[in-house]
Amino acid sequence: MKRGAWAEELASIRNASVDGVITPKELRGLGVSASSIVNRCLPDGPWQRLLPGIVLLHNGPPSDRQRMIGALTYGGPGSILTGLAGLVSYGYRSAAPSVAILVPHETRRKPHGFVEVDRTRRMPELTERGYLQVAPVHRCVVDAVRRTKDESLCLDLLVTAVQRGGTSIEELAIELSECTTRGTALPRRQLHKLGKGAHSAAEVEAHELYEASDLPPMHLNRDVLDAAGNVIARPDGWLDDVGLAWEIDSLAHHLSVADHERTMLRRSRMQSHGIVVVSHLPKTVRQSPNVVIRELRAAYELAASRPRPNVRMRVIAGESGAHSVDLTV
């Protein structure tokens, strides 16, 4: 493009950018003078300075994607997304207040504006997400939870990543053991709760409430089998000595007609085998803990008052204390 002709060919400039993000060096290579860049990035101009050395070719709020592209450009070669922004690129969250990037330890780059910079000697293998270079899910999750003191957010990030299959409790535990210890106390505690068998934040809250009661120990998310060894259901909680199931009915997972029908069929199947089933909403567990414990205690007494049904819990190798040991399934 001839110098001076760029103003008539703004489409070419946009095509040379990455989603509207471009460097002054690239603009000068397209014939845009340094003074024109400065003028167009003034407060009333059509462009803006997104970050030092980064221009955004419009003057409105940048999108999450533009902020991530800008952060990677600012970080320089070898930089990759991590934390909440990395999870956004995987589709886990809709927005991130800041953009965290990992850069090689020898790279001298300071945090600026919405960009958090983490210099590290443990650069992970990156994943390409369009124009974005992103750390693996387990690294993104751990880098995100190390930056928060919010217990609910920490637990939600860990649970969501595991539930969606992007990582596992084992991968997260390994990453926590290998990273810096700064900010790891909270996620270690929350991951320990998930390691006990809970599959959701609601189940963790329910289990913590239950552990504070005087009721017998409860098994979490274990298959309950009939006399022939067929799986009846996998309740959220199971008291094997009396054949009692506890269900935490999270509305978020039962909004569709199909989900509701599956829940009702599972409950009916358990009851048809003589299992006492008690259920609570996460909201009830959180707001009325005394009511929940009182109802669980009443359900336990009811279950203990009738003959135990002919069902058994699938036993994990090396475990003891269940009503019957499953040696065939």
Name residue, tokens 């505690």: 189
Query: Where are any strands of DSSP class E within the chain?
Result: 21-22, 48-51, 54-56, 80-82, 99-104, 115-120, 127-129, 132-134, 219-220, 224-225, 231-233, 237-239, 244-248, 276-280, 312-313
Do residues 144 and 89 both lie within one domain? yes
Long-range contacts of 26-30 (CB under 8 A, 24+ apart): 27/55, 30/1, 30/6
Q: Which two tokens stand for residue 235?
A: 């309740």
pLDDT of residue 136 exceeding 90, the answer is yes
The pLDDT assigned to 190 comes to 80
Do residues 113 and 150 both lie within one domain? yes
Say if pTM beats, i.e. exceeds, 0.85.
Answer: no
Rounded Cα distance between 146 and 76, Å, is: 24
Alpha carbon distances (Å) from 33 to 2, 12, 25, 40, 181:
12, 16, 10, 11, 48
Q: Report yes or no on 207 lying in a domain.
A: no
The pLDDT assigned to 263 comes to 83
Q: Residue 62: which pLDDT band, with cuts at 50, 70 and 90?
A: very high
Average pLDDT of every residue of the chain: 86
Query: Where are any strands of DSSP class E within 165-323?
Result: 219-220, 224-225, 231-233, 237-239, 244-248, 276-280, 312-313
Lowest mean pLDDT among 33-42, 112-121, 195-204, 263-272: 195-204
The pLDDT assigned to 3 comes to 47
Do residues 185 and 89 both lie within one domain? yes
Q: Residue 58: which pLDDT band, with cuts at 50, 70 and 90?
A: very high
Name 112's bridge partners. 115
Q: Residue 319: which pLDDT band, with cuts at 50, 70 and 90?
A: low
What average pLDDT score do residues 253-267 get? 71
Name residue, tokens 């956004």: 88
Report the candidate in 292, 248, 245 with the shortest Cα–Cα distance to residue 272: 245
Q: Report yes or no on 325 lying in a domain.
A: no
Do residues 190 and 71 both lie within one domain? yes
Structural domain range at position 240: 216-313
Do residues 190 and 89 both lie within one domain? yes
The pLDDT assigned to 160 comes to 85
The pLDDT assigned to 198 comes to 57
The pLDDT assigned to 155 comes to 83
Lowest mean pLDDT among 75-89, 152-166, 290-304: 152-166
The pLDDT assigned to 199 comes to 57
Do residues 110 and 176 both lie within one domain? yes
Q: Residue 166: which pLDDT band, with cuts at 50, 70 and 90?
A: confident
Do residues 234 and 286 both lie within one domain? yes
The pLDDT assigned to 200 comes to 63
Q: Report yes or no on 200 lying in a domain.
A: no
CB 193 within 8 A of CB 204: yes
What average pLDDT score do residues 121-125 get? 92
